[in-house]
Amino acid sequence: MSSGQQKVRTGPKPPWLRIRLLTGPDYQEVRSLMRGLSLNTVCEEARCPNIYECWGDRTATFMILGDICTRRCGFCAVASGRPRSVDAGEPAHLAEAVARLGLEHAVVTSVDRDDLPDGGAGHFAAVIRAVRERCPTCEVEVLTPDFRGVPDAAAIILAAGPVVFSHNIETVPRLYPSARPGSRYDRSMGLLREAVACRGGAPRPLVKTGLMVGLGETSDELLATLETIRAAGVEIVTLGQYLRPTHDHLPVVRYYHPDEFASLRAAAEGMGFRHVEAGPLVRSSYHAKRHARQAVAGERLPPVLDRSAGAP
C-alpha cells in the first residue's frame, strides 16, 4: 500500500469480493418478519453484501427513524430526501422482532434526521428501553449518526444502557467533502469523545467506530486517522472495502487485497485497540456480538473466515 494518493483505475471486482447468494428458510423467515412488523434494516437499505449470510444466521441490523435520510453521502445507497414522521410504535415493533428472532445482541442504527430537534437521540433511547424491557438478556448496540452536534445526544442514549456505542468515522478527513457532505470529521470525532467521557470510567458501553478503504485515502492518512481515533478512547474499530452501490455513487479508487487488511489489522492492534475487525467484506455491524465480547474478554480472536465465493 503506497503512501501516495492512489489513482489506480479499478476493473471488475476481484475474486475475494464475490459472495454466495444463500436464500434459505432462515433468510426468508427474517425477511418476512421485517415486512410483517414494518421494520427497516440497513442490510437492505444500504445494500450490504453480507445480508445473505447474516439473515441466513437469523441476525439483522435494524434501521430506525424511517428509510429516508436528510443527507446525501457519496458512498451510501440509503435514499435521501424529506423523511416521514417518526413511527411511535417502532420501539415496540423492534423489540418484538428481537424476541421472535431470539437475539442475544441487537444492532440498531438509523438514517440521519437533521429535521428533528434532537436528531433522533430520544428515539434511540426509547428503542433501547423497549428491547431491554421485552428481552432483558439481549445486549443492544447502537450505531448512531452525528446528530449534527446536538448537545448531550450521546448522554441521552447512554442513559438507556446500550452495551456498545458506535459512530462511524467512515473515511479520512480530506475525503469528507466528497464522501460525507453535510458531515464534519471534527464533529464525528467529538461525538466519540463525548461517548467515552459520558461513561465516567465505567467499562461499558464500549465505544466503536468503522472506516471504509478504497475511496482514495493514502496509507499515511489512514494510519493517522486510526491513531486519532484510538487517542480519543475508542476501543473497537472495523475496516472494510468500499463497494460502489450504483454508478451515481463515488467510484472505487482501488480494491485492497486481503493481505493489506491483515496488515491494517496488525497496525491497529499495535495502537492498542481492544478489537479490530478488518477484511474486504467487513462492515461495522458484521459479527457485532463477536466484536463486543472479544473486547470485554481482552483476548485476540482469529479473523472471521471469509465466506465469499472466490476467497483465496
For residues 272 and 236, give the distance between their C-alpha atoms in angstroms, rounded to a whole number.
10
Q: Per-residue pLDDT for 37 more than 90?
A: no
In angstroms and rounded to an integer, the radius of gyration of the C-alpha atoms of the chain is 18
For residues 101 and 61, give the distance between their C-alpha atoms in angstroms, rounded to a whole number.
12
Cell numbers standing for residue 150? 446536538
Cell numbers standing for residue 273? 485497540
Residue 217 burial (CB count, 10 A): 24
Residues 6+ apart with CB under 8 A from 170: 73, 75, 179, 180, 188, 210, 211, 212
Q: Report yes or no: 134 and 181 within 8 Å, Cβ to Cβ.
A: no
Cell numbers standing for residue 289? 456480538
138-142, 168-172, 265-269, range with the lowest pLDDT: 138-142
For residues 96 and 112, give the distance between their C-alpha atoms in angstroms, rounded to a whole number.
24
Q: 97 - beta bridge partners? A: none
For residues 171 and 151, give the distance between their C-alpha atoms in angstroms, rounded to a whole number.
24
How much is the average pLDDT of 184-210?
91
Express each pLDDT in 251-305 by its tens digit.
999 999 999 999 999 999 999 999 999 999 888 776 666 666 666 665 544 443 3
Q: What burial letters (b/e) apply to 252-266, b meaning 16+ CB within 10 Å?
A: bbbbbebebbeebbe
pLDDT of residue 162: 95
Express each pLDDT in 100-136 by its tens digit.
888 888 889 999 999 999 999 999 999 999 999 999 9
Class of domain 15-297: alpha beta
Q: If we measure between CA atoms, which residue out of 280, 273, 174 comes closest to residue 221?
A: 174
Q: If we measure between CA atoms, which residue out of 130, 154, 129, 135 comes closest to residue 205?
A: 154
Q: Per-residue pLDDT for 80 more than 50?
A: yes
Residues 6+ apart with CB under 8 A from 95: 127, 130, 131, 133, 134, 135
Residues 6+ apart with CB under 8 A from 54: 43, 48, 60, 61, 286
For residues 190 and 183, give the distance between their C-alpha atoms in angstroms, rounded to a whole number.
12
Higher pLDDT, 155 or 31: 155
Express each pLDDT in 47-62 by its tens digit.
555 554 554 455 567 8
Paired sense of beta strands 61-64 and 40-41, if any: antiparallel
pLDDT of residue 3: 44
